[in-house]
C-alpha cells in the first residue's frame, strides 16, 4: 500500500476503533493466481497476538489455498470526492479522501467445533436476536469453514486532507457537509 507518511498510520488504538466500525472487506490470497472473497471479519486484539476471523463456503475454491498461507485483508472505510474549489491556492486538483486498513497474516482453517464457535460469536456480534437453532448450526458447519488469521502487520491509510492547512481542512469539511458525500468522512476529519 503506497502511503505518503502523513496518511499512513500504525496507531493501534486508531486502527482498532476503525475496525470496530468497518469490518467488511476482502480476503486476498495468492497461490499461482490472485483469489479474493468479500467477507465480514471479527478481530481479537491480545498481547499474545492479534487475530482476524471469518468463514467461507466449503465449495469456495479459495479455501483450498488458505491453510498455512500468507493472506491480506483489505478493509475499505468511508470515502468522498473533494472538489478543487475547496483549496485557496489555485489552480488545484480535485481528489478523493478515504480511509482503509490493510492486515497481513497467516491463515489457518478451523475444525468444525472451532467453526461452530466462530459462527455463534459472529451471530452474537451482528444479530444477537437471530441466533440459529443448534440443529441448524450443526448443519451449517458442514457447508462452511472458519478461518483464523494470525496477524503479523496492521496498517492504515487515512487520506483526510492532513497535508492541507487547517483553513483548507475546514473548507473540505464544510464542502462535504453541504454535499451528498458520506457524513463519516468529514466526521473522521474532525477527530
- 121-129 own/partner pairs: CB under 8 Å, 24+ apart: 121/42, 121/53, 122/40, 122/42, 122/53, 122/55, 125/42, 126/40
pLDDT at 188 over 90: no
147: confidence class by pLDDT, cuts 50, 70, 90 = very high
* Rounded-to-integer distance, Cα 108 and Cα 33, Å: 19
Strands (E), the chain: 8-9, 24-30, 34-40, 42-44, 51-57, 70-82, 95-109, 144-159
Find the range with the poorest average confidence among 51-55, 86-90, 145-149, 181-185.
Answer: 181-185
What's the pLDDT at 122?
84
**Is the model's pLDDT at 1 over the cut of 60?**
no
Domains of the chain from N-terminus onward: 8-110+147-178 (2.30.110.10)
**SS3 of 50, please?**
coil
Nearest residue to 12 (alpha-carbon basis) of 47, 37, 36, 60 = 47
Backbone angles phi, psi at 54, to 5 degrees: -160, 175
Q: What percent of the chain has pLDDT over 90?
A: 72
pLDDT at residue 114, rounded to an integer: 96
31-43 per-position pLDDT tens digit? 888 999 999 999 9
Residue ranges of E strands in 110-143: none
Query: For residue range 93-137, what is the model confidence (pLDDT) as tens digits?
Result: 999 999 999 999 999 999 999 998 998 888 777 666 556 677 877
| pLDDT score of 89 more than 70 | yes
Q: Pick from 119, 109, 105: which is nearest to 73 by CA?
A: 105
pLDDT digit string (tens) for 3-30? 688 899 999 999 999 999 999 999 999 9
The mean of the pLDDT values for the chain is 90
Alpha-carbon distance 165 to 148, whole Å?
42
pLDDT of the residue at 46:
94
Amino acid at each position: 500500500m503506497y502511503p505518503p507518511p502523513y496518511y499512513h498510520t500504525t496507531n493501534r488504538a486508531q486502527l482498532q476503533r476503525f475496525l470496530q466500525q468497518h469490518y467488511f472487506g476482502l480476503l486476498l490470497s495468492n497461490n499461482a493466481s490472485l483469489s479474493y472473497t468479500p467477507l465480514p471479519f471479527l478481530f481479537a486484539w491480545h498481547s499474545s497476538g492479534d487475530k482476524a476471523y471469518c468463514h467461507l463456503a466449503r465449495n469456495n475454491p479459495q479455501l483450498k489455498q488458505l491453510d498455512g498461507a500468507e493472506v491480506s485483508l483489505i478493509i475499505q472505510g468511508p470515502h468522498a470526492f473533494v472538489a478543487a474549489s475547496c483549496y485557496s491556492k489555485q489552480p488545484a486538483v480535485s481528489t478523493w479522501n478515504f480511509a482503509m486498513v490493510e492486515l497481513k497474516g497467516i491463515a489457518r482453517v478451523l475444525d468444525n467445533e472451532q467453526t461452530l464457535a466462530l459462527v455463534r460469536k459472529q451471530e452474537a456480534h451482528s444479530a444477537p436476536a437471530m441466533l440459529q437453532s443448534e440443529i441448524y448450526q450443526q448443519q451449517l458447519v458442514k457447508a462452511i469453514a472458519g478461518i483464523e488469521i494470525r496477524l503479523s502487520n496492521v496498517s492504515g491509510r487515512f487520506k483526510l486532507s492532513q497535508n492541507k492547512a487547517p483553513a483548507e481542512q475546514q473548507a473540505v469539511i464544510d464542502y462535504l457537509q453541504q454535499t451528498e458525500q458520506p457524513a463519516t468522512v468529514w466526521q473522521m476529519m474532525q477527530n
